[in-house]
Amino acid sequence: MKKTDFLMAGVGGQGTILASNILAEVGLHLGYDVKKAEVHGMAQRGGQVDSHVRWGEKVYSPLVEENSVDYIVGFEMLEAARFPHFMKKDGVAVVNDYRINPPLVNLGKASYPSKEDIESLLLTRAEKVYWIEGTKIAGELGNPAVVGVVLLGALSNLVGGDKEVWLEVIGKMVPPKFVDLNLEAFAAGRQVTA
């Protein structure tokens, strides 16, 4: 079984933790040993949230190491840009084309880098960067909170695994009244990287 390391990076309230829980559960359903860890930085106030998910035949540590991540999933552009040093040389970045200005940017004391600068930074390590209009897609579906499942849909085409496993896990892990919406969000994300 191929070891696969994921790093999911976002800010509080974007659904990073739910998405990483779904990703971990999918790995278990696919027969992998799975470990997961999160770092919350004032997450309830829009602070940084990073989640490490590792799949493999035998995984000993939940934390990914620098130069080892196969997939970075950025829920916000600048958050994705914080982690290229964790990516393998041929890694892949799946990035929500969405920005949330940090407080210093809002105060005029810092500037937000351009999308092109962020992509250039990611491409110092990544083989490919997929820009996903996840927040826009989720909004069009009626609920921006499903952005994480849109990103998982895009990721699922790249990672593989039976589509039905992904759908089953999502169906079990989201509240019943939101299952249909999340399944639509997953399908919309898959179309982006199909």
Dump pLDDT digits (tens) for 96-121: 999 999 888 989 999 999 999 999 99
| CATH, residue 161 | 3.40.920.10
User: Which residue do the tokens 């040093």 mark?
Assistant: 85
CB proximity list for 140: less than 8 A, separation 6 or greater: none
DSSP 49: E
Instruction: Write out pLDDT tens, residues 32-91.
Output: 999 999 876 654 556 788 999 999 999 999 999 999 999 999 999 999 999 999 999 999
Q: Is 136 exposed, middle or buried (0-12, 13-18, 19+ CB in 10 A)?
A: middle
- How high is the pLDDT of residue 12? 79
Number of domains in the chain: 1
Alpha-carbon span 75 to 80, nearest angstrom: 7
**Distance separating alpha carbons of residues 122 and 73, to the nearest angstrom:** 12
Note the pLDDT of residue 44. Answer: 54
Say if CB 26 and CB 169 are below 8 A apart. Answer: yes
pLDDT of residue 45: 58
Q: How far apart are CA 164 and CA 118, in angstroms?
A: 34
**pTM for the whole thing?**
0.93
Percentage of the chain exceeding pLDDT 90: 84
| Structural domain span for residue 95 | 4-193
Determine phi and psi for 53, rounding to 5 degrees.
Answer: -130, 130
